[in-house]
Amino acid sequence: MDFEPWWLIFLPLLFALGWIAARVDIRQMLSETRNLPNSYFKGLNFLLNEEPDRAIDAFVEVAKLDPETTELHFALGSLFRRRGEMERAIRVHQSLLSRADLPQVDRETAQHELAQDFLKAGMLDRAEQAFEQVLDSRFAVPAVRALIRIYESEHDWPRAIEAVKRLRALVDEPVPQLIHYQCERAVAAMATKPPDIPAAEEALDAADNAAAALGAKTNGQASEARIAIERARLARLSSKPERERSYLVSILDIAPEYASLVAADILESYRRVGQQTEGLQLLRNHYMRYPSLDTFNVVFRELRAQEGHRLAWAFAREALRAHPSLLGLDRLLEAELASSGAPDPRTPLSAPDAGASPQGQALASLVPTHEAAAGADLSLLRSLIHKHTQRLDRYACRVCGFEARNFYWQCPGCNSWETYQPRRLEETK
C-alpha cells in the first residue's frame, strides 16, 4: 500500500481530540473532588495515620452530609460490628432501610447486615425475623445457616431440622449434625413425664436414616455411638433389659473409642441378670485393646469387689506399667480409700517385681503392709496426687480447647458437634 500525503491531516486531528478528552476527564475529576466533603479527606488522613477512632467519626460525618453514600454506610456498619459497637452498627443499617429510594439490591444487603448485627448482639428473636426476610434473596444460604445456629442455641430441634432440610434444598452438602438434632428430639421425648416412647422411637429412626444418608461422607463413629446410647436409654425406660444390654455392648464394636462412656452401664446391665463376672471379663478384654481411664476405673473397682484386693492391684500394676497415668493412679487410690482404706488382710500382697518398670515398682511399693498406717499413707498420697490431676480430669474440645468435666456431644464453648474426644485430657497429650 502506498503512502498518501493527505493522511498527515489526521495526525493533528487525533492529537486535538486526545487533548480535549484529557481536559474533560480532568475537569470531571476536579468537579467530583470539590463535591466531596472535607470530612472524607480527614477520614482518609486519619486512616493513614493509624487513628481508626477519629477516622470513623469523620466518615460518620460524611454519611450524614451525603445520605446517598450507601457503600460508605455498609463499610461503617461492618466496621462497627467488628469492633463490638452493635448499637451503632444497628443504627447505620436501620437508617439505610428507612430510605424509600434505596434500590432492592442494597435493601437486601442492608437487611442481611442488620440480621448479623442482631445475631452478634444476642438479640435472637429479632435476628430470626431479620434473616427470615432475606430467605428469598441471594442471601438465602447464609441466612439459613444463621437460622440453624439460632435454633441450636434455643434448643428448638424441630425447627433446626426443618432449616437443615431447607439448606439441603439449596446446596448439596452433608449436614452431620442432623443426626444429633434427631437424638436431641429423642432425649426431649424421654425426659417428659411420662416418657413419650413413640416420639423417641420415631426420632431415633430418623437419626438412623440421616446416618445412612450421610454414608461415607462422615466417619460416623461418634454418631453411631450416640444413637446406640440413646436407644439403650430408651430400652431401659421401656423395661427391656436385654435390648438395652445389646445396644450398649454393640458400642464396643461399632465405636470402640466411646466404650468408656458406657462401661459402667454395661457392667450394671450384666449385674441385673446375675452375670457380672461375664460383664467384667468383657470390659477387661476390651480395655486390653482400647485402654482408657474410665474403663480402667470400672474394671479395677469390679475386680476389687469380685476377686479381692490382690488381683485388683495386680491388674492396676500391669495397666499403669503399660500406660503410666497420674489420673489412673488417683482413681485407683480413690477406690481403695472408698472401699476400706487398708489392704485386705486375707490376701497379703507380694513384694514388688524387681524386673518391673519404675512406674510399676513405684506403684507396688506404695501399697501399705501395715494396716494401722495404711489409711493415713494412702490418704496423704492421694491428696498430693489429686491436686495435680484435677486439671487433667477433663474433656477438651479439639476446635476451641474448651475444657469440661462432663462429656458433651456439642461443645458449650464453640457449639461445634463431635469435637470432644471420649478421653480425658491426660490421655490426649
Q: Is the pLDDT of residue 259 over 80?
A: yes
Distance CA 226, CA 182 (A): 11
Q: Is the pLDDT of residue 55 over 60?
A: no
Residues 127 and 147 in one domain: yes
Confirm whether 44 is domain-assigned. Answer: no
Instruction: Provide the grid cell at 7.
Output: 493522511
Residues 408 and 339 in one domain: no
Look at 4-13, 150-159, 305-314 and tell me which has the smallest mean pLDDT.
4-13
Mean pLDDT over each residue of the chain, to the nearest integer:
78
The annotation places the binding site at: 397, 400, 411, 414
pLDDT for the residue 71:
76
CB neighbour burial string for 230-262, b if at least 16 within 10 angstroms, e if fewer:
bbbbbbbeeeeeeebbebbbebbeebbebbbbb
DSSP string for residues in 377-395: HHHHHHHHHHHHHTTTSSE
Q: Is the pLDDT of residue 161 over 70?
A: yes
Confirm whether 403 is domain-assigned. Answer: yes
Closest CA to 332 of 317, 352, 351: 317
Average pLDDT over residues 356-374: 46
Each residue's pLDDT tens digit, 198-225: 999 999 999 999 998 887 445 568 999 9
Rounded to 5, what percent of the chain is helix, strand, coil?
A: 70, 0, 25
Average pLDDT over residues 90-116: 87
Residues 72 and 82 in one domain: yes
Supply the CATH number for residue 111's domain: 1.25.40.10
Average pLDDT over residues 350-362: 43
Average pLDDT over residues 408-421: 91
* CB-CB contact of 157 with 184 (8 Å): yes
pLDDT for the residue 361:
47
From 118, 140, 172, give the residue that closes a domain: 172
Q: Is the pLDDT of residue 429 over 60?
A: yes
Q: Is the pLDDT of residue 356 over 50?
A: no
Cα distances (Å, whole numbers) of residue 236 to 85, 229, 231, 254, 269: 51, 11, 9, 20, 10
Q: Domain span at residue 369?
A: 314-393
* Interacting residues of 232 by C-beta distance below 8 A, sequence separation 6+: 243, 244, 245, 247, 248, 262, 265
Percentage with pLDDT > 70 across the chain = 69
Confirm whether 185 is domain-assigned. Answer: no
- At residue 156 the predicted structure's pLDDT band, cuts being 50, 70 and 90, is very high
Strand partners, 417: 410
Look at 101-110, 245-254, 340-349, 374-383 and tell me which has the smallest mean pLDDT.
340-349
Between these two residues, 357 and 195, which has the higher pLDDT value? 195
Between these two residues, 300 and 115, which has the higher pLDDT value? 115
Look at 12-26, 163-177, 258-272, 308-322 and tell me which has the smallest mean pLDDT.
12-26
Average pLDDT over residues 269-284: 93
Average pLDDT over residues 411-421: 90
Residues 367 and 420 in one domain: no
Residues 76 and 159 in one domain: yes
pLDDT for the residue 92:
80
pLDDT for the residue 286:
94
Residues 331 and 415 in one domain: no
Query: Considering its fold, how many domains does the chain have in total?
Result: 3
Between these two residues, 257 and 384, which has the higher pLDDT value? 257
pLDDT for the residue 377:
66
* CB-CB contact of 324 with 333 (8 Å): no
Strand partners, 404: 395
Residues 163 and 87 in one domain: yes
- At residue 24 the predicted structure's pLDDT band, cuts being 50, 70 and 90, is very low
- At residue 367 the predicted structure's pLDDT band, cuts being 50, 70 and 90, is very low
Q: Is the pLDDT of residue 410 over 60?
A: yes
Each residue's pLDDT tens digit, 68-100: 567 777 777 887 888 888 988 898 888 888 878
Residues 319 and 344 in one domain: yes
Each residue's pLDDT tens digit, 118-142: 999 999 999 999 999 999 999 999 9
Average pLDDT over residues 318-327: 79
pLDDT for the residue 29:
41
Residues 71 and 167 in one domain: yes
Confirm whether 39 is domain-assigned. Answer: no
Q: Is the pLDDT of residue 243 over 90?
A: yes
Confirm whether 29 is domain-assigned. Answer: no
The annotation places the binding site for Fe cation at: 397, 400, 411, 414
Q: Is the pLDDT of residue 350 over 90?
A: no
Residues 92 and 158 in one domain: yes
